Amino acid sequence: MNIWIAIGVTAAGCYLVKLLGLSAPAGVLERPLVRRLAALLPVALLAALTAQQTFGDGQHLVLDARAAGVAAAAVALILRAPFLLVVGVAVAVTAGVRALGG
């Protein structure tokens, strides 16, 4: 039952945040700082989620095949590879490291 309460509270909170954004005056949304934060915040949140899922396991730091995949993807990004190739490189390196027993 507690999980459904948490889901309901989260859904209501998301709705309220969306409503707050829609009710904000246009002048506030046109400020350069707000525009910059709106552009960068999703990227920062996605990066944090990726790092947590890759290197975290509960309360412990983990370095396994996923870390090798993320490192390979970072190299592909530095080399300006297309997005699908970056994903493919990450998958192939992760699978290769796991196949080797890592």
Cα(63)–Cα(49) distance, rounded to whole angstroms?
Answer: 16
pLDDT attached to residue 6: 93
Banded model confidence at residue 101, pLDDT cuts 50, 70, 90? confident
CB 72 within 8 A of CB 90: yes
CB 102 within 8 A of CB 68: yes
CB 72 within 8 A of CB 93: yes
Banded model confidence at residue 102, pLDDT cuts 50, 70, 90? low
pLDDT attached to residue 29: 82
Banded model confidence at residue 22, pLDDT cuts 50, 70, 90? confident
CB 55 within 8 A of CB 77: no
Q: Is the pLDDT of residue 77 over 90?
A: yes
Q: Model's pTM, two decimal places?
A: 0.61
